[in-house]
Structure formats: structure tokens, C-alpha cells
Chain A
Amino acid sequence: MAFSVLYNLSILFVAAGLVLIATSLHLERRARGFRRRMKNLLQLASRDIEPLELPALAWPELADSGWKHLAWQGTWFGQPVTGELGEFSEFGKAPAASSNTNKISKPISPLTLEISGGDEARLTLTLTHTAPGGEKRMFAEHLARVFILLLETRLRARTEALSAALAERARLSLYLQHDMRNLAQWVTWVSADFAACTTPEALLAAARRLRDNAPLARERAERLIDALGQRPASESPQLIDLRQTVAQAAQLAGIAPEIDGEAQAWVTRTLLARALDNLFSNLAAVWRDAIAVNPHLQLRTTEDAVAELHFHCPWPADSTPLAPEKLFEPFASGRPGGLGLGLYQARKSLREAGGDLQAKPAVSGVNFLLRLPAQAP
């Protein structure tokens, strides 16, 4: 009797030991796989990868760990972005209760994570796994969280670089010197010119010269004041003739567009000037290189009281066209040597002014649409 009990116990212990061995072997295999996938994922951290390219590059490791579907959506420096990888199936849905039995399967809840880089970029990522829980899901979640951390690090690096660049640009330590010296040069010439006038004819010629050049110099001075941050913050919106303002901004950027139509906008003059300056300075070189005739701009006012400026800009000849979501992304430039801040800043200024700048890639370039309120609210 005692022998029989001991025998049964030993069988039980052996069986339990075998189960433990099998479990540890299984767990060890999973841990090995997890270590390998984690190592591969972390290698992405040392590569120069655009943030939005990271999901596709990380996806093989995520899929290998059991994730079946990854979807993301949000805004990327003002542009809406969406994307998905893998196949969305019934994995993510709670199965319906069986009519034959009262048993309800445990629903597989997706893993939803959010990352943000201030107001500039925000993404919501949803990952759907094959398993509702257990060690496989646990390992997979760890991997997913590391992936999210990588993505967030990239995004923050981008937004921090943007802040640094904008702060640097705002101070304009070098650009400012260049512009200030030019303005000082202009003032010197004007005063010397008038001082040297000894006849009424010479005085008239100097006055004509001043009349022709003063608007350009004034724009330059206003830009300097903006850059120095000395402009009074109390400037309020006013009704502005867009045709004249657009023509003047284009002239300052060295282009002479053909403008069709008329429109007025209810906007702060400084913000509009800053937006147009960034926009045209950014596109001027492309227009000069790519178009034999002058660029064509169209102005109109819509029925819902929105002033619109519409135009097409070709891609630079020696550049790779940018994807739609990258058009306004800081540091993403379609122009060799471009900083990639012009369009970003143009839109930022327009949005501050209650308007917007939209861009849609076309076959040969980009169609831009600038929108501003046409009348006081």
C-alpha cells in the first residue's frame, strides 16, 4: 500500500518535472526569440531613419512576435497621416457569443499607444495581436513598447531640432547681420546721394531713385524688425489687398508673377508678409530655374467669404519629389541645400493669421492653395 502511494507520487513528481522542463524549454525558446527580435529592433536606433519610415522597418520584428496588424493615424506637422501594416482580420474583434453554448471567448483587445511632439505631430498607434494574453502576448507587448519608444525618440529629436533651428533663425545671428549691413548700406547711399545734389535736376533724380527703391528697403526694414521681435504685439487684423501684397512679396523674392483676379483678406499685415516671404523665398529659385515664362497666380473670393490664392510650382529639376506628408515637415526639403523650413513657417504664419496653406502634389510639381478670411468675423 505504502509502496503504491510512493510509486504514484514519484510518477506525479516525474510528470510535474517533465512539465516544468517542457515549460522552461518553451519559455527559453520564447525568450531567445524575444532577445533576437529586440536586438534587431534596437539596431534601428543607430540608423539614420525618417520617423515615418520606422514602422515599416520595424514591422518584420513586430510581425514575428505575433502582431498581426499595425495601424497609425494622426497629424504630422500639419498634414494628416494614416498608415497600416499587416492584415486586419477578426483577431481584433471580440468573437460573437456562440448560439450553441453559452461560452464567450475572451476578447482580444488591441494595444493602443499615443505619441506626440508638442502641437506639431501626434500619432495614435494601434497594434492587434493573435493572442489575448499569456507569455507570447507579454513578450510582444514589450517589443511593441520599445518600438513606440524608438518612434517617440525620433519624433522628439525632430521637434527639438526644429525648436533649436527656429530659435536660431529667429535670432538670425548671421542673416540678421547680412540684412542689417545691407540696410545700413542703403541708408548710407541715400544720404550721400542727397548730400551730393548741387542742382535741382540732381535732386529730382535722387528723389526719383528714392521713390523707386524705398518700398523695397522698407520691406527689408520690416523684416528686420520682425526678426528682432520688436514689433508691437498689438497689431490687429485689417482688410488687405491681396493682389498688391502678393505682387510686392513676389518682387522681393526676385520673381515677377502674372496675377489673375482680385481678393481682399482680413489678416494681420505682419503675419501675411511673413508667410508670403517664406513661401515665395522658398519657391523663387525653383520658379526661376524651371519656368521660362512668369509664374501664374490666381486670386478669388469664394461664396463662403474665403480669399484664395492658387498656383502651381514645379519640382526642382535635380530633386526627388517629396511625399505629401513631408511637404510641410521641417528639414524635409525637395531642394538641394534647402533647410526645409520655408513651407513649414509659411503655413505656421498663415494658421496664426486664421488662414491655411494647403499643398497637393501633382504630376509635374505641387499645387498650392492659400486661404484667408475675406472679411472681419
Chain B
Amino acid sequence: MPTSACPLLIVEDDLALAGYLASALGEQGFNVRQAHDRAQALAELKPQEARELPALVLLDLGLPPQPSTMVEGLALLDELLQLIPHAKIIVLTGQDESAAALEAVRRGAFDFLVKPAALATILQALQRAKLFVREEARLAASGETRLHLTARHGEGPKEAAAAAEEQLLRRVLAETGYNVAETARRLGMAREHVYYYLNKYGIQRPV
């Protein structure tokens, strides 16, 4: 049964896989876009008329120019988490299972699948992620946000609080399209304070 359209970005360097997956998931009602490397994936996030930002990302960690390592995929994961903090990113990889899973989840990936993963498994993971996207959108409408934090015990609660502070700000900024006045209103603070935090965490409006 096809699900309602949901913007999904597939980042996969293997064209045969990307094409097949896009076709199969498109048939399931996802609004699928494809990228084959980091640059193409970031280009997909540039604001364009009549195009929504991806709410779901299926990300292959082994991307060119180093498809045998996780370097490029993890770097892209970090960028995606900053640029589209509301999106749920499911990592799909053939890399060493435990190391990749730990690292991707630690950084903020929503879920993790190891190749070869069955289409049904991928679909199930995407539907679960979609459910979270919907529920979080509902929470956001009522003025609440779920945060994903990985805090190191040794760094103490202050660092964890700062990470939460930064993430909350990024989320609300993304939701308001980087409108400082609206962000300040939603967070119940003065605009000057928003500018202070932007400066503190080096947050910039995406180009």
C-alpha cells in the first residue's frame, strides 16, 4: 500500500543500487531524490522553489573518493545533521558493522542498516523514521522539540547542556528558515540573545 509522499534523499554512490532503490521506494509513495556523492547531496539541500527539504535520508557511508572507508559518509552525516536537523538519517553501509554503527549513532543517525539489507527492512526503517518525523512535526507545532544528544561523561553536565542549547537553537532556526525574530519569539528570548548564541556556536545561515 503506497504511503503518502515524503521527501526522501538517497545518497548512494552505486548507480545501479541508487536507481533500483529509488524506483522501488518511489513506488511505495516516497518522493525520492538521488545523490551519488557528498557534493551532490549538499546541492540537494539548497533552497529551491516548489521543493521541500528531505525529511528522510538514506545514507551510504562509503562514498567517493574513498568508498572503502566511512570518512566521506560520516562527514556528510555531520553536515546533514547541522543543515537539516529535523531529518531522520538512516545509515546504510557495507563497512565494519559495529564500528560504523557506533560512530554513526553516536553522531546522531536515526537508524543503521548493514548491506545487504532487504528491501522490506529498509522500507520498515523508513516508515518508522517517517512516523518520528510526523510526530516531531506535531510536537514542534505545539512548541516542543525532541533532541538527540551524545554526552561524554568525562566532560560533565556543562558540555551536555551546551550541546543541547546548540541543538535546540539549530532546530528552531531550521524550522523558521533562519528567521531570527521568529526564532527569538518561539524560544521566548530577546533577539540579541539569539545573535549571542549564533555567534557562540558559529551558526550561519546555509548559502
Contacts and interface: CB of A to CB of B under 8 A. Distances in A.
A182 B68 contact: no
Interface stretch (B49-57, B117-125, B158-166, B176-184): B117-125
Nearest to B14: A182
Contact of A254 (B15, B66, B69): B15
Given A175-B67, A185-B117, A338-B65, A209 B39 contact: no
Nearest to A206: B24
A213 interface: yes
Nearest to B40: A288
B72 to A, nearest CB: 10
B43 to A, nearest CB: 9
Q: Is the interface of A mostly helix, strand, loop or mixed?
A: helix
Contacts of A220: 14, 16
B68 A174 contact: yes
A182 to B, nearest CB: 4
A213 B17 CA distance: 8
Interface in B17-53: 17, 19-21, 23-24, 27, 36-37, 39-40
Contacts of B20: 186, 189-190, 209, 213
B116 interface: yes
Contacts of A289: 39
Given A189-B21, A193-B24, A213 B36 contact: no
A177 B16 contact: no
B108 interface: no
Contacts, number: 82
Nearest to A218: B16
Contacts of A217: 16
Interface string A213-247: 10011011000000000000000000000000000
B19 A185 contact: no
Contact of B65 (A178, A193, A337): A337
A28 to B, nearest CB: 58
A165 interface: no
Interface residues of B, number: 28
A216 B68 contact: no
Contacts of A177: 68, 94
Nearest to A221: B16
Contacts of B15: 216, 251-252, 254
A26 to B, nearest CB: 61
Contacts of A183: 16
B84 to A, nearest CB: 22
B19 A213 contact: yes
Contacts of A254: 15, 36-37
B14 A205 contact: no
A212 B40 contact: no
B24 A209 contact: yes
Most buried by B among A196, A209, A212, A289: A209
Contact of B94 (A182, A186, A288): A182
B62 interface: yes
A285 B16 contact: no
B115 to A, nearest CB: 5
Given A182-B16, A182-B94, A289-B39, A192 B118 contact: yes
A20 to B, nearest CB: 69
A184 interface: yes
A189 to B, nearest CB: 5
A181 interface: yes
A192 B40 contact: no
Given A175-B67, A177-B94, A184 B39 contact: no
A175 B68 contact: yes
A196 B199 CA distance: 53
Interface in A270-300: 285, 288-289
Contacts of A179: 14
B108 to A, nearest CB: 24
Nearest to A217: B16
Contacts of B16: 182-183, 186, 213, 216-217, 219-220
A345 to B, nearest CB: 16
A254 B39 CA distance: 13
Contacts of B94: 177-178, 181-182, 185
Contacts of B14: 179, 182, 186, 220
A208 B69 CA distance: 33
A188 interface: yes
Nearest to A214: B16
B39 A181 contact: no
Q: Which 10 A-B pairs have the closest CB atoms?
A: A174-B68, A216-B16, A181-B94, A217-B16, A185-B116, A182-B14, A188-B116, A209-B23, A213-B20, A185-B115
17 contacts: A177-B68, A178-B67, A178-B94, A181-B115, A183-B16, A184-B115, A185-B116, A186-B16, A189-B119, A193-B24, A205-B27, A209-B24, A216-B19, A219-B16, A251-B15, A288-B40, A337-B66
Given A185-B94, A220-B16, 8 more contacts: A175-B68, A178-B67, A178-B68, A181-B116, A184-B116, A192-B119, A213-B23, A220-B14
Interface of A: 174-175, 177-179, 181-186, 188-190, 192-193, 196, 205, 208-209, 212-213, 216-217, 219-220, 251-252, 254, 285, 288-289, 337-338
